Amino acid sequence: MTERITKSMAKNIYYGGGTFALLIFIALTFDTVHQIPERSNEVDMTKSVVAGKKLWEDNNCVGCHTIVGEGAYYAPELMNVFQRRGASDEGAFKGYMQGWMAAQPLDTPNRRKMPQFHLTNEQVDNLSDFLIWTSKVNANEWPPTIEG
């Protein structure tokens, strides 16, 4: 098969094909950037949600957890933790989060440990708001089950 392909043909496929793919990619990028605000309900992205995202990053939460399926696989997925631990009730979830964050690290021998991050009550609420907002993103019906 390769005998019939010359070097200049291969070169043309590289430049032509590469450029073609790149152009489609750029066009779709513009469209995706246009659609993400609606799919992620950006209107509901309050100051608290933004503060929660910053806390999520500053404490490197993604170093153990996944969120929307991306991150480390040491600890549970958190896109749907609002449904799983808060039964989709904001008050219940925020209460749960305050208790959970204060109780870390749990005392169970050899269970994987979550560090104590010394967050204020307000910061924990920020994190809760961030996770609640994330749970409502349209991710094409992922995760498949509540256990994530």
Partner 1 sequence: MKYSSQAVAKPYFIFALILLAGEILFGLLMAIQYIYGDFLFPLIPFNVLRMVHTNLLIVLLLNGFMGATYYLVPEEAESELWSSKLAIITFWIFAAAGVATILGYLFVPYAELTELTFNNLLPTMGREFLEQPLPTKVGIVVVVLSYILNTAMTVLKGRKTVITTVLLSGLFGLAVFFLFAFYVPENLIMDKFFWWFTVHLWVEATWELIMGAILAFVLIKTTGVDREHIDKWLYLIIAMTMVSGILGTGHHFFYMGAPEYWLWIGSISSAVEPLPFFLMILFAYTMTRDRKIKHDNEIALTWAKGTAIMSFLGAGVWGFFHTLAPVNMFTHGTQLTAAHGHLSFYGAYIMIIFTMVSYAMPILRGRPHGNCQKAQKVELNSFWMMNIGMMGLTLALSAAGIVQILDQRVGTELIGFMESQESIEGIYMIRAGFGALVFAGLLTYFYSFFVKEEAK
| Contact flag: residue 18 with partner 1 (CB under 8 A) | yes
Contacts 24+ apart (CB under 8 A), 70-76: 74/112, 75/112, 75/114, 76/148
Burial of 108 (0-12, 13-18, 19+ CB in 10 A): exposed
Beta bridge partners, 66, equal 71, 77
Q: Which is nearer to partner 1, 97 or 133 (CB)?
A: 133
Per CB under 8 A, contacts with partner 1 among 27-46 are 28, 31-33, 35-37, 39-40, 42, 45
CA angle 73, 144, 80 (to 5 degrees): 65
| Residue 128 in the binding site for partner 1 (CB under 8 A) | no
CB of 125 to partner 1, least distance (A): 17
Residue holding tokens 């307000």? 122
By CB under 8 A, residue 63 contacts partner 1: yes
Which residues within the stretch 85-124 sit at the binding site for partner 1 (CB under 8 A)? 105, 109-113, 115, 117
Cβ 102 to partner 1, closest distance in Å?
16
Q: Cα Rg for the chain, rounded, in angstroms?
A: 22
Using CB under 8 A, which of 4, 56, 99, 128 touches partner 1?
56
Q: Is residue 54 near partner 1 by the rule CB under 8 A?
A: yes
Q: Check residue 5 for interaction with partner 1 (CB under 8 A).
A: yes
DSSP assignment letter at 104: P
Give yes or no for residue 2 binding partner 1 (CB under 8 A).
yes
